[in-house]
Amino acid sequence: MSRWCAFQATDPAGHVRAVGAELRTRQGPHALGLLDGPGVAAGPFTAGALTAVGEVTLFNTAELRTTLGPAAPPPGSPDGLVLLHLYERFGLPGIAAADGMFALAVIDGPDLVLIRDHVGARTLFHAHAAAGWAASTSLRALRRWPALRTGLHLPAVRTFLTFAYLPGRETLLHGVHEVLPGRCVRLHPDGTSSEETYWEPEELIDDRPDHAFALRALLEQAVTRRLPVGEPVAVLLSGGIDSSLVTALAAELHDHPVRTYSISFGDTAPNELGYSGLVAAHCGTEHRVLTVPGATVAARLADTIGLLDSPVGDPLTVPNAMLAEAVAADGATVALNGEGGDPVFGGPKNLPMLVFELFRSDPAPDARARAYIDSYRKCHADLPALLTPGTLAALESAPGPAGHVAPYLRQGRMSTLLNQLLHVNLRTKGAHHILTKVERLTAASGIEGRAPLFDRAVIDRAFATPPALKLAGTSEKWILKESVRDLLPATIVDRPKSGMRVPVQQWLDGPLRDLGHDLLLSRAARDRGLFRQETVRGWLRGEGALLPRQGGKLWLVLSLELWLRSFDVGGPVG
C-alpha cells in the first residue's frame, strides 16, 4: 500500500520548497516529504522499526533524555528523533511526557500515525483518496496532492461565520481533516482511521495555600525553557498583563538582550502605547513601536490571509505578520508572546456566560452551548439573512456549530462552569485560532513564536487552582496577577483588560472600501452562491446593524472570500 505523507514547507507565496524521496519499508513504499523550515529538523528519523518525519521543537529535551536512559539518541540529535524514541519505547505515554511544539507522522507497521502536540502549537492535516492517505502540516501543500479531489465544505463556512475560526476537526476543504491537539490519529490501509487521546486537562483542584507561589515557579520555568540559547529574544508586547509578565520574566531570566515590539495604528487611532512603553522602561528592554497604517493593511491583507491554513476573522492578522518581519529583520529567531492568559486563566469572555447561567431560564441541554455561541457576537444570528436560500437548504440537515462546544460545557471532565469555559476556550480558540495564527505568521518570516502561558504544566496548575482564585469577584485572572505582582507596576497589574482596539470600521470605510466592494460583489462571489448580494450591499452601506458590529461582520466575510480565492476554492461539493 502506497502512502504519500507530505510535510512540505511553503514560502509566503505558497511555493513548495522541498519534497522528500520515497522510502521503502516492509509494508511497501511510503513517500515522506521533507520540511526545511528554519530551526526545525524534519527527518526522516528512524528508531527501531519506526520511521518518521515532522516539525518538532522540544523544551524539556534534557529530562526526556534522562527518561530514555541508554536508549537516548546521541547528544545533538534532532528533537524529532528524541520524540520518536520516546514513542518507540513508551508509546503515547512517552509523547505525553514531552513539552514542546510538534507535529509528527510515524510509519508504524501498516499504519501512518499522526501525533499533534498537547495544545496545538503546530498544525497537522490528513485526507484520503484512491491512492491512499496523505498528511501534511500545510493545508496548501495537501491541496496540491494530485490524487485529492476536493472542494468547499459548506458546513465549515457556517462554522467560520459563527466563531471567526474553525474550532475542530473540519476544514473548509471537503474530505480534509485536522488532527486535534493532544491526539494520535492512526490512518489504516483500508481507508479507516482511529483516534486516541494522550493528554487532556483535568480538574484536579487542590487546597494548597500557596497557589500564587506555585504558579510563579511554573511561569519562570515555562519562560526559561522557551528562551533561545546565546542570542537576544523578542517579546510581542501589547501592554496587557499577559504580554507584560512574559516581558518581565524574560528580562529577569535571560542572559541576552530582550527586545520588545508594540503596534500603533496611527495618531488618530486609540492605542495602548503608554502601557507598553511603561513596561518596556520598567523592564529595561530595547523597545520598538511599529506603525501599521490602514493603507498597508489593505495592500497586504490578501497575501497575509493566504498564509493561513484556515481563515481567522482577526483584524490583527496583517499587524502580526509585520511584527514577525520586524523581529526577523532585527536578527532574532524566537519571539515570545503573552497569548494564553485568557483561555487558561479566564478573561472577559467568561462574564457573559456566568451572567447567563445565573439567570438561566432555558432547561434545554444545549442552551449553554447556544449562549456561548451568542456571546461571540459574530455572524451566527445573521445567517438567515446572509446566506442564500440554496446554502441554507443544503445546511439544513448538517450538524450545527453548537456541537463543537457542547461536549466541553456539560458536567463531566470539568465540574465547575468556569473550568468548563476555560476548557472550551483552550481547546477551540486557543488551539484553532490563537496558536495556529501565531505559528503560520511567525514561520513565514523564519522565526518561531513561543507562548509560555500555553505551557502544559502551567495549564495543569490553572485547572488545579480553585475557580474563585481565577475569577475573584469581578477581578479576572486574579491568581495570575498575584503571581507576578512584584515584577510589574501596579498600574499594569490592576488595570482592567481593554483589548487592542483595532480601527476596522475606519479601514473598511477608507483604504479597504474599494477592495471590499470589488471582491464581495464580484462575479466570482456571486457564482459561488454563498451570500445574498442584497445583504452584503446593505452591510457595505452600513445598514442592518450597529456600525461597530457591522465592521466586524464585514471583516469576517471579506476574510473568507480572500481565503477561498487564495486556495482556489469554488462552490460547495455536491
> What domains sit in the chain, N to C, each tagged with a CATH number?
3-124+179-197 (3.60.20.10), 211-346+416-494 (3.40.50.620)
pLDDT surpassing 90 at residue 327: yes
Residue 5, pLDDT score? 44
For the segment 67-97, what is each residue's pLDDT rounded down to a tens digit? Answer: 999 999 999 899 999 999 999 999 999 999 9
CA distance 12 to 18: 14
pLDDT in tens, 198-219: 999 999 898 888 999 999 999 9
Give the per-residue pLDDT at 40: 43
Task: Report the pLDDT value the prediction gives residue 32, as an integer from 0 to 100.
Answer: 47
Cβ–Cβ < 8 Å for 278, 489: yes
Q: Indicate whether 547 pLDDT > 50.
A: no
Question: Which pLDDT score is estimated for 45?
Answer: 87
| pLDDT number for residue 17 | 32
Whether pLDDT at 10 is above 50: no
Strand bridging mode 233-236 / 132-136: unpaired
Q: What is the pLDDT of residues 228-266, one digit of tens each?
A: 999 999 999 999 999 999 999 999 999 999 999 999 998
Which three-class secondary structure state does DSSP give residue 316?
A: coil
Tell me what the pLDDT averaged over the chain comes to: 88
Based on its alpha-carbon atoms, the radius of gyration of the chain, rounded to whole angstroms, reads: 23
**Share of residues in the chain with pLDDT > 70 (%):** 90
Residue 28's pLDDT is 37
What three-state secondary structure class fits 230? coil
Which tens digits make up the pLDDT trace of 48-61?
A: 999 888 889 999 99
Residue with more model confidence, 546 or 332: 332
* Window from 4-13, 158-167, 493-502, 555-564 with minimum mean pLDDT: 4-13
Task: Label residue 499 by pLDDT band (50, 70, 90).
Answer: low
10 three-state secondary structure: strand
* Helix (H/G/I), strand (E/B), else coil: 472: strand
User: Does pLDDT of 300 surpass 90?
Assistant: yes
pLDDT at residue 109, as a whole number: 84
At 117-155, the pLDDT tens digits run 999 999 999 998 887 888 888 888 888 888 888 999 999
> What's residue 544's pLDDT?
59
Residue 122's nearest CA partner among 173, 53, 67, 66 is 53
The Cα–Cα gap between 81 and 58 comes to 11
202 vs 12, which has greater pLDDT?
202
pLDDT at position 145 is: 81
Separation CA 258–CA 246 (nearest Å)? 11
Give SS3 for 82. Answer: helix
pLDDT, tens digit, for every residue of 380-396?
A: 999 999 999 999 999 99
The string of pLDDT tens digits covering residues 503-528 is 998 999 999 999 999 999 999 999 99
State the greatest distance between any 2 C-alpha atoms of the chain, in Å, as a whole number: 69
pTM of the full predicted structure? 0.91
Question: Can you state the angle between helices 241-253 and 273-283, rounded to 10 degrees?
Answer: 20
Query: Given pLDDT bands bounded at 50, 70 and 90, which one contains residue 500?
Result: low
Answer yes or no: is pLDDT of 357 > 60: yes
